[in-house]
């Protein structure tokens, strides 16, 4: 799934993702797109097509999801397995 398609699907709603972390661990995360309240200035040091920056509601911090290892998305009561 492409990053732009995911952004259109979930919009500004809260959603959850399941993916494999870089170290091989599985992770579930409740998150939201478009959160700017906690930004501290500066610019991203990277901007890859396969990385999506989200705000994790669990840890109250920005996290990066690798779109290549994304396994499922749950939003508005719908589950999409990839």
Mean pLDDT of the chain: 86
pLDDT of amino acid 16: 96
Top-confidence residue, 16 or 1: 16
SS (H, E, C) the chain: CCHHHHHHHHCCCCEEEEEECCCCCEEEEEEECCCCCCCCCCCCCCCCCCEEEEEECCCCEEEEEEHHHEEEEEECCEEEEC
Which positions ≥6 away from 13 have C-beta within 8 Å?
32, 75, 76
pLDDT of amino acid 56: 92
Name all domains of the chain by residue range, CATH numbers in brackets.
Answer: 3-38+47-76 (2.30.30.520)
5, 20 Cβ separation under 8 angstroms: no
Taking residues 66-79, report their average pLDDT. 93
pLDDT at 39 over 70: no
Given pLDDT bands bounded at 50, 70 and 90, which one contains residue 38? low
pTM of the model: 0.79
């Amino acid at each position: 799934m492409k990053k732009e398609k995911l952004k259109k699907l979930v919009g500004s709603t809260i959603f959850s993702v399941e993916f494999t972390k870089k170290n091989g661990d599985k992770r579930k995360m409740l998150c939201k797109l478009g959160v700017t309240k906690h930004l501290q200035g500066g610019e991203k040091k990277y901007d890859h097509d396969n990385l999506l920056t989200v705000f994790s509601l669990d840890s109250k911090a920005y996290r990066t999801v690798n779109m290549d290892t994304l396994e499922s998305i749950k939003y508005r009561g719908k589950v999409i397995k990839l």
